[in-house]
């Protein structure tokens, strides 16, 4: 050992002090962690806003007020409507919710609560003028009631309608109409109880409804629980 070398014990003590100094410096350099928890009222407000946006622009919830769509949809049923697609892609047989203010007028006896009125303003339609019917014809179709067998024909071909309410004929009212482009001919499944396109032949549009007035197709029934499930054509 050289005389100028520090004693082993001195080197160990110096190393220990140096390590302690580094550890202390490292601890001092670490940034303090910061966690932010939003206040409860802000969480509620964001959830409410998101729910409102979904309700207005994506999925609508509607109650069935009358028997015009029995037995497919009964009074008191609650359904979910796809607003995302609106009237695009609508085909014969689809069940749609639409704004009939400019064609069918307000639903007789319908009442709107304050929440429905608010949503109606946000959605751009009068809740009392919202209808649900089945698409029988689209733009360009010639629809006639009825052929020799008592069936409705579309473009000369009789259509099969298993959804028509039991005991009802396809229609007791005769008609022969060609649906204008961009419009729909709509009828209820409970034909004897439905004031549909047939009842508005003398109204603007000749009983047809503009595709742009369609809010969306009915996708799903969530109430009552014993009838929960998809609502198809």
Cβ-proximal residues to 68 (8 Å cutoff; 6+ apart), any chain:
132, 133, 188, 189, 190, 193, 194, 195, 196
Cα–Cα distance for residue pair 108/129, rounded to 1 Å: 9
For 151, other C-beta atoms within 10 Å of its C-beta total: 17
Q: Which of 84, 114, 75, 86 is nearest to 193 (CA)?
A: 75
> Which residues make beta-bridge pairs with 158?
153
183 within 8 A of 205, measured Cβ to Cβ? yes
Chain centroid to CA 68: 21
Enzyme catalytic residues: 68, 133
């Amino acid at each position: 050992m050289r005389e100028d070398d520090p004693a082993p014990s001195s080197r160990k003590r110096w190393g220990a002090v140096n390590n302690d100094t580094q550890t202390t410096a490292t601890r001092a350099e670490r940034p303090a962690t910061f966690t932010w928890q939003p206040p409860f009222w802000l969480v509620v407000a964001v959830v409410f806003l998101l729910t409102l946006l979904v309700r207005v622009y994506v999925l609508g919830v509607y109650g069935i007020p009358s028997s015009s769509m029995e037995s497919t949809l009964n009074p008191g049923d609650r359904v979910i409507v796809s607003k995302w697609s609106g009237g695009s892609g609508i085909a014969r047989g689809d069940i749609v919710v639409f704004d009939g203010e400019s064609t069918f007028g307000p639903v007789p006896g319908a009442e709107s609560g304050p929440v429905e009125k608010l949503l109606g303003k946000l959605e751009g339609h009068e809740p009392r003028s919202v209808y649900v019917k089945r698409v029988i014809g689209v733009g360009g179709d010639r629809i006639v009631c009825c052929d020799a067998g008592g069936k409705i024909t579309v473009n000369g071909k009789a259509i099969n309608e298993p959804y028509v309410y039991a005991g009802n004929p396809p229609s007791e009212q005769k008609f022969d109409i060609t649906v204008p482009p961009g419009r729909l001919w709509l009828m209820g499944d409970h034909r004897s109880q439905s004031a549909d396109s047939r009842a508005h032949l003398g109204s603007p549009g000749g009983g047809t409804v503009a595709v742009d007035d369609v809010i969306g197709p009915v996708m799903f029934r969530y109430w009552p629980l014993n009838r929960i499930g998809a609502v198809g054509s």
